[in-house]
Amino acid sequence: MFKSKNEKSLWKMLFEYVTTKPIDTVFTFEEITDVIGEDVKKNRQPVYRARKELAKRFKTYLASESGVGYRLIQGMDMLNHAEKRMVRAEKQTQIANFESVNISTAGMTNEQKNEVRQFLAWNGMVISSLSHNAKQIADFQQTTSNMVNDKLNDLTTKLESYSQRMDEISAKL
């Protein structure tokens, strides 16, 4: 049976520590190691679990900072992080597809050939899904950008109108 070394599990200690810090805080590997009392470079499981809980509870995320540690992010930074992860996954899936398409099936049993066919079918679905998700993210970014631009234009128009009114009032005085 699992028994924690401490009263709290490692991920909870990290979770509680991270939630006291502002967005965009960078947590070094050394800092995280001090918080949980275990070398995070050897066991990243507490980070993964804390990351999952942060996303579910607070819509924030611990994004990896290469060679440094993790950064607490939210909003569009999370979307950009997800998009980068999806691009990497799509590239890896395409490499796997290339490798498997070029497998020589000569000398394979029917069962092995069927396994290759099933893998290719599954890999095709993964590629299709990743492409679809990438398109959804791009559409969301475009919609968000359009909404911000529309709001900015609306506020600029109102400001110009108020400025014009103030000029008219000043001229009457």
pLDDT-based confidence at residue 2 (cuts at 50, 70, 90): very low
The per-residue pLDDT for 5 is 58
CATH architecture of the domain with range 10-74: Orthogonal Bundle (1.10)
**Is 141 exposed, middle or buried (CB count within 10 Å of its CB: 0-12, 13-18, 19+)?**
middle
Q: How many helices (H) and strands (E) does the chain have?
A: 5, 3
> Over the stretch 74-123, which tens digit does the pLDDT of each residue have?
988 888 888 888 888 888 888 887 887 778 888 889 998 888 888 888 87
Q: Tell me the C-alpha distance between 152 and 76, whole Å.
A: 18
Mean pLDDT of 127-151: 79
Q: Which ranges constitute the DSSP H helices of 23-109?
A: 29-36, 45-58, 76-101
Q: Tell me the C-alpha distance between 132 and 135, whole Å.
A: 5
